[in-house]
Structure 1
Amino acid sequence: MLVLHGKLTCSILGTVSANLKKHLATLSKRGSHRVLVGDLDYAGLPGKVYAPAEGKGLAAVAFGHDWRKNVKDYHATLRHLASWGFVVVAPDTETGLIPNHRNLAADLESSLQVAAGVKLGNGNITVSPHKLGLIGHGMGGASAVLAAVDNEKVKAVGAYYPAQSSPSADAAARSLEIPGLIIGSGRSDIFNSGNPAKLAYNWGGDVTYREITKGTQQGFSEDLFYKLAIGSGAFQASQAEIARGLMVGFLKHQLEGDKTYSDFSEPDASAKGIESFFGDSLADRAGEPSAGELAPVRQES
């Protein structure tokens, strides 16, 4: 038993979802659940567990950190997810200068198995094996994609500003038939290390791709003093809140089956500070040819 301690724009044709606009403000704030935090080390992996204080058959996600980050750099984000009823397991591995993305993916998969296989708290918190997902930021987002390949237990994948990985998450995404949410940036930054739109473009199944105005990969983690020390800018609190709300809505729909939040899985749903892309607009964002730009196939006579 694991013990825990106490300007509106749409780049696509279609209508703007009123429900997304309505619910996002609520989901971007802390949920109603009291949150407990414990150590994943108990199960043989360094890391943390964030969970609602109680609940049976809960949904769970494994969270992957970005390059040179630690779980502590996402404390508010992980607490936020748990406050909305999700169990979150976050391995604190591959934090060195040259991480192994495949190993981080394996640790994400292992930690998700731990969440689904042990009782949490005093035994009053359990996870449903049918409500499992993988999410991550930067390098961790790419590793979440890698961990989902050929994993029938995973029902959804989400990535905040996913980075490039080895092996390629873009290539791995082609085999994924489960729903995905990819959050990208509405602007460039000097540390940009990935192409989130390209990852979404390569997704094999249903995918939702959104960009947050003024949000960047480096601004999402909460390590403010480190950012100031290297001059990479401050923590983007408002943009992080929006990103958290988008992920909560997506996970509540995909893992919990709550149709109240179905618009968070719709590719054309937008709201203030968010721009959504799919089809030709996504291809353009990813730097890929759209359907109308593809050269015609020449038939042999």
Structure 2
Amino acid sequence: MSRRKPLTAKQALTELSRPGPHGVRRGDLALVGLPGTLFTPRRGHGLPAVAFGHGWLQPPQRYLGLFRHLASWGVVVAAPATHRGPLASARLFADDLRTALDVVSGVRLGDGDLSVDGDKLAVGGHSAGAGAAVLAAAEDDRIRGVFTVAASETRPSAVEAARLCRMPAVHLAAEEDLIAPPVGHAEAIAQNWGGPVQLRTIADANHLGFAEGRHWSELLLHGRGEARTQTVAKALITAFLLRQLNGDKTYDALLYGDVKRAPVGYQRAGRPAARA
């Protein structure tokens, strides 16, 4: 629990837009049987962890800046590199996200100077990977928080699965998204969410604005990576994870207040949701 004086929204945005105080290590999930990437702080015990789902046709390498950023703020990030083809299964990808959480919370990381607290787990993702993250959360009581960026509907339905998700969530939509328009995707997921939920739409952002660098899929999908969009997303995601997994209230003014380019469009306290 943080004992720092809470920051204003502007101060929090500035601070969380920069790398955190931790050195960062990069590892390979394939060493424990699941293809993918692992980012961790250099050391720490009882750390929070998040499993991240890549977007449709996107490799995890397009999100390395986000992974490194979160690890620098003390969050372990596991990103499976599975289901990258055009006919990828959202259901099976959701299973891989849950397996990634099993891995980071159940095996020794590093040289024994790293450990994850099994009560501090979250999932997140971009595009179809965001939909898979919702599917994973609907089936896993360990998950304490969910974040999505430019979430898209999946089969089975992430919109329907959202009803079963009681944990807090933050959904970031892209205003200029032609692949997963906010109204039919992120907004529908947020409206159906079974727990505390917040929806923000980032102004002038496109579907691929959250992905880094260039990739051949830009020939098929609308948009390209945008540094401004990524900066805002990193700060909001970091504030959310530190609050939900570590109980850190330092950045609440940013997390619960409006941000220029990313105002709160919808926010609601949780409601009971029965599991099927």
Does TM, scored on the shorter chain, surpass 0.5?
Answer: yes
User: What is the rounded CA distance, in whole Å, between the counterparts of 1:43 and 1:259 in structure 2?
Assistant: 35
Which residue identity lines up with residue 59 of structure 2 in the other structure?
Answer: N
* One-letter amino acid of the counterpart of residue 210, structure 1: R
Residue ranges of structure 1 left out of the alignment (5+ in a row) = 1-16, 281-301
Deviations 1:19-38 (A, max 9, x none): 32320121122212111001
Q: 1:213 aligns with which of 194, 200, 203?
A: 203
**Equivalent-residue separation in structure 1 for 2:220 and 2:50 (angstroms):** 31
Could you give the per-residue CA deviations for residues 158-189 of structure 1, whole angstroms, max 9, x where no partner exists? 10110110000010001111100100122343
CA 177–228 in structure 1, closer or farther in 2 if over 3 Å, else same: closer
- Aligned-residue RMSD, C-alpha: 1.9
Q: Deviating runs (4+, > 2 A) in structure 1? A: 17-22, 186-189, 191-194, 225-234, 261-266
Matches within 5 A, 1:11-160: 19-160=8-149
Rounded to whole Å, the distance in 2 between the matches of 1:91 and 1:83 is: 20
The answer on whether the counterparts of 1:65 and 1:137 sit within 8 Å (CA) in structure 2 is yes
Q: 2:173 aligns with which of 156, 176, 184?
A: 184
Letter in 2 for 1:219: G
Deviations 1:114-146 (A, max 9, x none): 010112111101000110000111111110110
TM-score normalized with structure 2 length: 0.89
TM-score (norm 1): 0.82
Distance 2:92 2:202 in 1: 30
Maintained 8 Å contact 2:55/2:128: yes
Counterpart pick for 2:156 among 164, 167, 186? 167
CA distance change for structure 1 residues 126 and 18 in 2, over 3 Å: closer, same or farther? closer
**In structure 1, how many angstroms separate the alpha carbons of the residues matched to 2:46 and 2:267?**
36
Q: Provide the C-alpha distance between the structure 2 equivalents of 1:259 and 1:126, rounded to a whole number of angstroms.
A: 23
My pick for the range that moved more, 240-249 or 21-30, is 21-30
Structure 2: gaps (5+ residues): 1-5, 269-276
Q: Which amino acid aligns with 2:263?
A: E
Q: Is the 8 A contact 1:253 1:264 kept in 2?
A: no
Tell me: CA distance 1:162–1:228, structure 2 relative to 1, closer, same or farther (3 Å): closer
Inter-partner Cα distance in structure 2 for 1:87 and 1:223: 23
Match of 1:9 in 2: none
Structure 1 stretch displaced more, 251-260 or 221-230: 221-230
Shift of 1:225: 4.3
Q: For residues 35-71 of structure 1, what are the alpha-carbon distances to aligned partners after superposition, in whole Å with 9 as ceiling and x for unaligned?
A: 1001101111000110000111000000000000111
